[in-house]
Structure 1
Amino acid sequence: MPNLDARLQAALHLIQAETHADIGSDHAHLPIRLAQLGRITRGVIVEVNSGPLEHARVNVARAGLTDRLEVRAGNGLAPLAPGEVQSASMTGMGAQTMLGILTRTPGRVPDALVLQPNDSPEPLRRWAQESSYHVAAEVLAPGFWRYPVLRLERQSGPDPAYAGLPGNAALRYGPLLLREGSGLLREQVAADIARLTPLAAPGRAAEHDLHVAQSAAVWLSGNRK
């Protein structure tokens, strides 16, 4: 079985579906592990680059899963038929790259998404609010840096995860992560305050970012675990 690092393990535990697509899968370790553990019945692996595409095909064949995992060449969700999969995952990309994939083919976005961006997930949370997706689960995974992993599910109405939280801080750091108040998140907020304090000046973006981090710290200080 392929070994998964902490961020992919976090993604794995947020996926359970009959049909699932892993977009930009690279080595295909995540969908292979999902199939081996029975967390998915059928999977589609999508890769746009020829090298990783061939790598994924070789790994799926070696795992003996060619009857359950299909490898397709293509960009983002385009190789999927509308409604073909119940959920999809994207890991190891920038948030803006993920946003591009989600907005280029809106008719192919499934009802559940598991996203692990390599930078701030705030744009993805804003997209979710605007696109009728709720934050169903969030994990902050340790690694080279702190990796956020989100599960979004299509739901109507305002997302209850944000109720009672400082809005900008919840978008930046995650509503469920703020409620959990883990040591890892507290470290991230403290590090942001230390980094932004000498950069903040009236009118600069750093001033706004510092105020957001400070509001998160105030909320966390009143909700100690």
Structure 2
Amino acid sequence: MAAVRAVWPVLDARLEAVLALIRAEVHADIGSDHAHLPIRVVQEGRAERCVVVEVNPGPLGHARASVARSGLGERMEVREGNGFDPLGAGEVDSASLTGMGAATILGVLERAGEKLPAALVLQPNDSPLPLRMWARGHGYHLTAERLAAGYWAYPVLRLERRPGLDPAYAGLPLEAALRYGPLLLRGRSPLLLDQVRRDVARLIPLAAPGRPAERELATARSALQVLEAAS
């Protein structure tokens, strides 16, 4: 009887954007839910091995079932635990954290200590500004970033541990680059252009002198200037 080929999990645009930025020998997906992302990572040869980490009992069971059905049990392992706790220092060289708020992701990163790998792919469900600021203060450079269309435009960041100042921010207004993403600004992302224009329109009636919205509007306008420079 012919072997039955494992079905590849279907990912939405958000997770497809995350998948495209993963390349590693050993990758960990933290808070994996059904483990569809790490299964695709292994199926597509983006990592030789994957460790799936899930703390909640329901998603943990889903992840174990998905990995069992995938036929990739020799190259994947599902572990119960919080954040990087179930991993050893240096065990993985890359990790992804997706579908969480930036503050939640930031908490996981700050608790990881020496277990932090050399590469991170992060997809927050809100503003990635705190993650970009964390990266600049912890020796990580922003080497790729994307926006994925969905309920809103989902940001996806790839960070790599490198020495020196991050060149991604050179020559750009810093507040705008931290808020909207230096590589997205340089690439003049159409999704980002729409977002910045909406921000400007929203902030204009709120930006009375001395209010926080006044500074936010200045940041949005400086980002718009970069995006429209070649128009």
Q: What's the TM-score bracket when you normalise by the shorter of the two chains?
A: over 0.9
Equivalent position to 1:10, from 17, 37, 41: 17
Matches within 5 A, 1:66-85: 66-85=73-92
1:212 equivalenced with 2:219 (yes/no): yes
**1:142-173 deviation line (CA, Å, top 9, x unaligned):** 01100000000000110001000010000001
* Distance apart, 1:127 and its partner CA: 0.3
1:150 equivalenced with 2:157 (yes/no): yes
> What does residue 49 of structure 2 align with?
42
Give ranges in structure 1 of 5+ residues lacking alignment: none
Q: Which has the larger radius of gyration?
A: 2
The one-letter code sitting in structure 2 at the alignment partner of 1:196 is: L
Task: Say which SS state the counterpart of residue 88 (structure 1) adopts.
Answer: strand
* Distance apart, 1:105 and its partner CA: 1.9
Q: TM-score, with normalisation over the residues of structure 1? A: 0.98
Task: Say which SS state the counterpart of residue 140 (structure 1) adopts.
Answer: strand
The one-letter code sitting in structure 1 at the alignment partner of 2:68 is: A
Find the aligned partners of 1:208 and 1:88 in 2 and give their Cα distance.
34
Task: Say which SS state the counterpart of residue 25 (structure 2) adopts.
Answer: strand
* Distance apart, 1:201 and its partner CA: 2.0
Following superposition, which runs of at least 4 residues in structure 1 exceed 4 angstroms of deviation? none
The one-letter code sitting in structure 2 at the alignment partner of 1:219 is: V
Task: Say which SS state the counterpart of residue 216 (structure 1) adopts.
Answer: helix
CA RMSD of aligned residues (A): 0.8
> What does residue 124 of structure 1 align with?
131
Give ranges in structure 2 of 5+ residues lacking alignment: 1-7
Same amino acid, percent of matched pairs:
65
Find the aligned partners of 1:173 and 1:11 in 2 and give their Cα distance.
18
The one-letter code sitting in structure 2 at the alignment partner of 1:156 is: P
Task: Say which SS state the counterpart of residue 16 (structure 1) adopts.
Answer: coil
The one-letter code sitting in structure 1 at the alignment partner of 2:187 is: E
Task: Say which SS state the counterpart of residue 40 (structure 1) adopts.
Answer: coil
Matches within 5 A, 1:60-71: 60-71=67-78
Find the aligned partners of 1:204 and 1:185 in 2 and give their Cα distance.
25
Task: Say which SS state the counterpart of residue 44 (structure 1) adopts.
Answer: strand
> What does residue 104 of structure 1 align with?
111
Matches within 5 A, 1:117-196: 117-196=124-203
Task: Say which SS state the counterpart of residue 143 (structure 1) adopts.
Answer: coil
Find the aligned partners of 1:28 and 1:215 in 2 and give their Cα distance.
40
Aligned length: 224
Find the aligned partners of 2:74 and 2:230 in 1 and give their Cα distance.
49
Q: TM-score, with normalisation over the residues of structure 2? A: 0.95
* Distance apart, 1:204 and its partner CA: 2.2
Equivalent position to 2:206, from 190, 199, 207: 199
The one-letter code sitting in structure 1 at the alignment partner of 2:169 is: Y
**1:51-82 deviation line (CA, Å, top 9, x unaligned):** 00000000000111111111111111111100
